[in-house]
Structure 1
Amino acid sequence: MASVGDSAVWREQPVQVRRPAVRPSQTLLKFGRSVAAIAALLAVWELAPRIGAVDSTFLPPFSEVLQAWWQLALSGELVSHFGSSIARSLTGFLLANAIFIPLGLLVGWYKPLASLLNPLLELFRNTAALALLPVFILILGIGETSKIAIVMYASSWPILLNTISGVRNVDPLLIKSARSMGLTPRKLFQKVILPASLPTVFTGVRLAGASSILVLVAAEMVGAKAGLGYLINYAQFNFQIPNMYAGIVTISGLGLLFNGALVALEKTFTAWKHTQAD
Structure 2
Amino acid sequence: MIIRILQRLTAFFQRFLAIILFLALWEALPRFGFVDPFFLPMLSVVLDAILAMLKTGELFQHLGASLQRTLIGFFLGFVVSVALGLLIGWFSKVERFADPLLQAFRQTSALALFPVFILFFGIGEVSKIAIIYWGVQWPILLNTISGVKNVDPLLIKSARSMGASKLTIFFRVVLPASLPAIFTGARLSATTSILILIAAEMVGAKAGLGFLVFDTQQKFQIPRMYAAILLMSLLGYCANYTLVHLEKKYTSWRSGLTVGE
Corresponding residue of 2:227: 246
TM-score (norm 1): 0.87
Asked if 1:125 is matched to 2:106, the reply is yes
Corresponding residue of 1:171: 152
**What is the Cα-based RMSD across aligned positions, in Å?**
1.7
Q: Distance in 1 between matches of 2:46 and 2:64?
A: 20
Q: Distance in 1 between matches of 2:230 and 2:137?
A: 26
Query: % of aligned pairs identical?
Result: 54
Corresponding residue of 2:81: 100
Runs of 4+ in 1 over 2 A off after TM superposition: 23-31
Corresponding residue of 2:22: 41
Corresponding residue of 1:13: none
Instruction: State the secondary structure of the residue aligned to 2:41.
Output: coil
Corresponding residue of 2:245: 264
Q: Distance in 2 between matches of 1:251 and 1:34?
A: 21
Which of 168-177 and 135-144 deviates more?
Answer: 168-177
Corresponding residue of 1:203: 184
- Alignment match of 1:135 (pick from 87, 102, 116): 116
TM-score (norm 2): 0.93
Change in 2 beyond 3 A, CA 1:275/1:85: farther
The number of aligned residues is 254
* TM superposition shift of 1:30: 4.0
Q: How does 1:219-230 map to 2 (within 5 A)?
A: 219-230=200-211
- Give the partner amino acid of 1:61: M
The CA deviation string for residues 155-209 of structure 1, in whole angstroms up to 9 with x for no partner, is 1001100000000001112122222222111111111111111111111111111
The CA deviation string for residues 69-107 of structure 1, in whole angstroms up to 9 with x for no partner, is 111111111110000000000000011111110110000
Corresponding residue of 2:165: 184
Larger Rg: 1
Instruction: State the secondary structure of the residue aligned to 2:29.
Output: helix
- Give the partner amino acid of 1:249: L
Q: How does 1:9-24 map to 2 (within 5 A)?
A: none
Q: How does 1:57-96 map to 2 (within 5 A)?
A: 57-96=38-77
The CA deviation string for residues 33-61 of structure 1, in whole angstroms up to 9 with x for no partner, is 23322111111101111222111110011
Corresponding residue of 2:198: 217
- Give the partner amino acid of 1:253: L
Q: Distance in 2 between matches of 1:212 and 1:182?
A: 43
Corresponding residue of 2:139: 158
- Segments of structure 1 that go 5 or more residues without pairing to the other structure are 1-22
Corresponding residue of 1:12: none
Corresponding residue of 2:125: 144
Q: Distance in 1 between matches of 2:109 and 2:256?
A: 35
- Give the partner amino acid of 2:245: A
Asked if 1:55 is matched to 2:65, the reply is no
Instruction: State the secondary structure of the residue aligned to 1:130.
Output: coil
- Segments of structure 2 that go 5 or more residues without pairing to the other structure are none
